[in-house]
Amino acid sequence: MKPGWTLKAGRLLAVWMVGGTFAFGQTAKTVAPEPRDQAPASAPARAPAETPPVDPAKIERLLQLWERQSSLLKTLDAKVFRTDIIPAWDEIEYYEGRAIFKSPNLAFIDFRKIKQDDDRKPVKDPKTNAWVSVPEERILCTGDEVWQYKSDTRQIFIYPLNEGEAEKAIEEGPLPFLFNMKAESAKKRYVMELMSEDEKAYGISITPRLDVDKESFSQAFVQLDRKYLLPIRIVLVSPDGKSKKDFQLGPVEPNKPVADSNFQGQPLANWKVIRNPSPEDLAREDRTASAPEPRGERQEGQAAPKR
């Protein structure tokens, strides 16, 4: 595994230093249009409909509606497909994942690395049509602590949280803007602009104002479902502006019952536990993670999330 975003105590869930220069999400599936009767030859060709201009002033109202919708969420369960392109090593990486949140401050985020074929395309099992993947990383916010499981090194990093930090940890996590959206707080921390809209979604550009957020990303793009006002795509640009990670979300299931056991950190057999790791511990972890990975081995102990 090449250096990814590394969790640091000072930034809780937020600081994953992005590796790679560009990331593309999973190609959206499209439905072929129904065949139509051919128009008479004499019928004039219609000009394509023009996209109406975006009204930047709508962002204020949109943020209020987004916050109102987010306040109704008690839980959120989303599947994730992530793609990274890492030009420094001429690599492309695919991940499948799951993100589960429970109000007010519980989180479960899990990523599994997808195997690739000789053409570097993600591989599916022909029998089950499921991605062929191995555990990569899991992050839990228990309310009192953040637990980070690193499968490639079999290490568990535990970060204690001070009072009031758990909700902040979720806001600053690897999937910001997905849960607990607060309009006034967002406007203080980010420059937010409405870039596009159509009948299905809004496109929002987000630039951090604060140095602490600039350590995580230099710019973000959120595609917000127009009907339910839930993010269906989040793109994070690295602090140096050269890398991107593209998270495509779906299905996204709001207010679905989820098991509290998903948010309980537990040690695993033959895994090393490091509490409140120092910068030296994280530096050693990065060096170890840069070593070649064993292929095809399923790491023990990381069970599937419970519903």
104 token code pair: 């007010």
Give the residues across from 146 on adjacent strands: 141, 159
User: What pLDDT digit, counting tens, does each position of 10-33 carry?
Assistant: 344 333 333 322 222 223 332 333
- pTM here is 0.73
Give the 3-state secondary structure of residue 108: strand
Residue type, 113: K
277 token code pair: 């790791």
User: What pLDDT digit, counting tens, does each position of 82-104 carry?
Assistant: 988 777 778 889 999 999 999 98
Residues 6+ apart with CB under 8 A from 157: 7, 147, 148, 150, 274, 277, 281, 282, 285
User: Which of 49-53, 182-186, 270-274 shows the lowest per-residue confidence on average (mean pLDDT)?
Assistant: 49-53
The predicted pLDDT at position 64 comes to 93
Domain residue ranges of the chain, discontinuous segments joined by +: 9-23+55-285
Q: Which is higher by pLDDT, 176 or 220?
A: 220
Query: Contact, 189 vs 209, CB < 8 A?
Result: yes
Task: State the average pLDDT over residues 270-286.
Answer: 76
Give the residues across from 114 on adjacent strands: 133
Q: What are phi and psi of 198, to 5 degrees?
A: -145, -165
How far apart CA 12 and CA 146 sit, in angstroms, is 7
Residue type, 112: R
CATH number of 9-23+55-285: 2.50.20.10
